[in-house]
Amino acid sequence: MDPEPSELKRLSTAASPEQRFHEYLQSRGMRSTRQRQVLLEQVFAEHDHFDADQLIEKLPRRGSADYVSRPTVYRTLGEFVDAGLLKKFEIDGRSVYDFDYGYPDHDHLHCQNCDRLIEFQADGLEQVLRHVAERHGFRIKAHTLLVEGMCDECFRARRRTPRRVDRI
């Protein structure tokens, strides 16, 4: 789950994530608090997938005026997902958050060797899904496609100096 620069470019969109989130808050009678601001800024400062702990590491520490507690981080991430800013999925039992707003649709390759997450855009996928949905009368809201395997780097490295990784 090591963050790395995304290959995908940002799409220009009507509203910024900040604007969109504020609309979301207003429409629900929710308040714009310091904590929500801090998180909004930190999350959208970088454009990469992350989990709760990785986010917390980057936040001001306990004692700082901008400290945000762990429960609030979780609560707010849930709100971002609700607001359509982030997408959430799971790898090995932990939640990973990924950008869903102002980003082109994409999925991930997960290297079981180095744990890296690599974004990709699968050309034909949308069509395949549309077809499936039609056949089953299913209304698609979202999808997560996670491909497990070994990335190119690890494959080459292993060929040079073979070492076991998975189990015993």
Partner DNA sequence: TTGAATGCAAAGGATTTGCAGAGGC
Partner DNA sequence: GCCTCTGCAAATCCTTTGCATTCAA
Distance CA 139, CA 28 (A): 26
Please give the structure tokens belonging to residue 54. Answer: 């990785």
Establish if 156 lies at the interface with DNA (CB under 7 A).
no
Contact segment (CB under 8 A) with a copy of itself among 16-24, 33-41, 50-58, 90-98 equals: 90-98
Q: What mask of x and - would describe binding to a copy of itself in positions 44 to 83, judged by CB under 8 A?
A: --------------------------------------x-
Task: Please give the Cα distance from 56 to 18 (Å, whole number).
Answer: 20
* Structural contact between residues 4 and 111, judged by C-beta atoms closer than 8 angstroms: no
Q: Select the residue interacting with a copy of itself from 135, 160, 163, 164 (CB under 8 A).
A: 135
Residue 75 phi, psi (nearest 5): -60, -45
Angle at the Cα of 102 (from 101 to 104), degrees rounded to 5? 95
Using CB under 7 A, count the residues that bind DNA.
26
Could you say which of DNA, a copy of itself, none residue 124 binds, taking C-beta under 5 to 8 angstroms by partner kind? a copy of itself
Largest Cα–Cα distance of the chain, in whole Å? Answer: 59
Question: Is residue 93 part of the contact set for DNA (CB under 7 A)?
Answer: yes
Summarize as ranges the residues that interact with DNA (CB under 7 A).
Answer: 25, 29-36, 51-53, 62, 67-72, 74-76, 78, 93-95
